[in-house]
Amino acid sequence: MTCYLYSAVRTPFGRFNGALSGVRPDDLSARVITGLLDRVPELDPAAIDEVVWGNANGAGEDNRNVGRMAALLAGLPTSVPGTTVNRLCGSSLDAAMIGSRAIETGDADIVLAGGVESMTRAPWVLPKPSRGFPPGDLTAVSTTLGWRLVNPRMPKEWTVSLGEANERLGEKYAVTRERQDAFALRSHRLATAAWAEGFYDHLVVPTDGLARDEGVRSDSSLDQLAALKPSFRPDGTITAGNASPLSDGASALLLGSRAAADRIGVEPLARIAGRGASALDPQEFGYAPVEAAERALARAGIGWDQVGAVELNEAFAVQSLVCVDAWGIDPEIVNARGGAIAIGHPLGASGGRILGTLAGVLRERRERWGVAAICIGVGQGLAIVLENLESLENAAVTA
């Protein structure tokens, strides 16, 4: 059996401490699920076989299986099961991969996948003491981003900060600060144009008064980016301007078999044609999408010469550039409607965002094949190949 993508929506992505900071992650999830179901009014929610939801932190209001909580808060019947997936930044792309496998094996006909992150509301945590009433002080640890409560048996080189890891990646592949700033500016300009041209109107559900991505800077310039101080090393190349910001948001995807179209009430947008996962040394996580995409393409039976669009999550400009260089592809097909540097990167939601955006770009450009790829902390990468079904219909009409 084959799995298809029927619909994709997301909330606008809000800035850290911004417009969505007052919304719990389980409520963000429920609202994007409701927004998705509004797009397919003929679908009986009771027909959903499974909710698979991505979430990276899970230490606060998103604890205790936020996927199940979101389904209940969205009003889905209690008979619809739900689970939560944690593959850090790749969580919602992993949710789509898991859901697609369930459909391909016949375990499900309709799966609601997606993910959420409120990085603003990620709590501080205290480790439990090994015995009651310890005499010393305890330190609260932020769960917003990066390593925390690290096992001392982990090699030190594995547990460097995300920024330091990418400074090393930039050194290894000789990626200059100028290239990174230019890539970041491109992200803002393309996202600004996409919003102005209405590209995101159907992909984004206004949420709590926020109608557009809050981090897009239409007035950004190379001079402004060049003036920013390095964030991780005094002489480094990574700044707040050429890395993705901390963000809040949620994304949702409706997956189904071909036979499910009548119950869903709409035709599918794209076919999930290949999946790939890869892993390497934790500090080299930014390079992991390279092999993940190669594996996904091999399983789809195509090569880079057939790919018309790529959505690569822009965790950092440097790792994005390294991946694009390694693939040897035309940079202009990558993130043609802006990327995470401008739009934002709420960890558990970003995979769903890039997959939904990829489907939209493929249809807009009438391209057949596309790749969605994402790097993941602790040394992993994921990728999915989509086949645009509208391109096949157009080819059939032309023939």
Report, as an integer, the average pLDDT of 114-122.
98
Q: Which helix (H) or strand (E) holds 233?
A: none
| pLDDT tens per residue, range 149-183 | 999 999 999 999 999 999 999 999 999 999 999 99
Helix axes 177-196, 317-327, angle to 10 degrees: 90
pLDDT range class, residue 319, cuts 50, 70, 90: very high
Report the DSSP beta bridge partners of residue 138. Answer: none
In terms of pLDDT, which residue wins out, 131 or 158? Answer: 158
What rounded mean pLDDT belongs to the chain? 96
| pLDDT reading at 209 higher than 90 | yes
pLDDT confidence of residue 397: 41
Cα–Cα distance measured from residue 388 to residue 319, given in angstroms and rounded to the nearest whole number = 27
pLDDT confidence of residue 127: 87
pLDDT confidence of residue 394: 61
pLDDT range class, residue 133, cuts 50, 70, 90: confident
Structure tokens at 61: 């209001």
| pLDDT reading at 395 higher than 90 | no
pLDDT confidence of residue 393: 63
How many residues are present in the chain? 399
| pLDDT reading at 130 higher than 90 | no
pLDDT confidence of residue 132: 84
pLDDT range class, residue 369, cuts 50, 70, 90: very high
pLDDT confidence of residue 399: 39
What are the C-alpha distances in Å from 365 to residues 9, 92, 360, 368, 369? 19, 25, 9, 9, 11
Cα–Cα distance measured from residue 52 to residue 32, given in angstroms and rounded to the nearest whole number = 14
Residues 6+ apart with CB under 8 A from 99: 3, 50, 52, 108, 111, 112, 113, 253, 255
Q: Which residues of 276-286 are buried (b: 16+ CB within 10 A; e: fewer)?
A: bbbeeebbbbb
Catalytically annotated residues = 89, 345, 375
Asked if residues 52 and 83 have their Cβ atoms less than 8 Å apart, the reply is yes
Cα–Cα distance measured from residue 235 to residue 319, given in angstroms and rounded to the nearest whole number = 18
Share of the chain above pLDDT 90, in %: 93
Cα–Cα distance measured from residue 13 to residue 345, given in angstroms and rounded to the nearest whole number = 8
Lowest mean pLDDT among 96-110, 130-144, 282-296, 346-360: 130-144
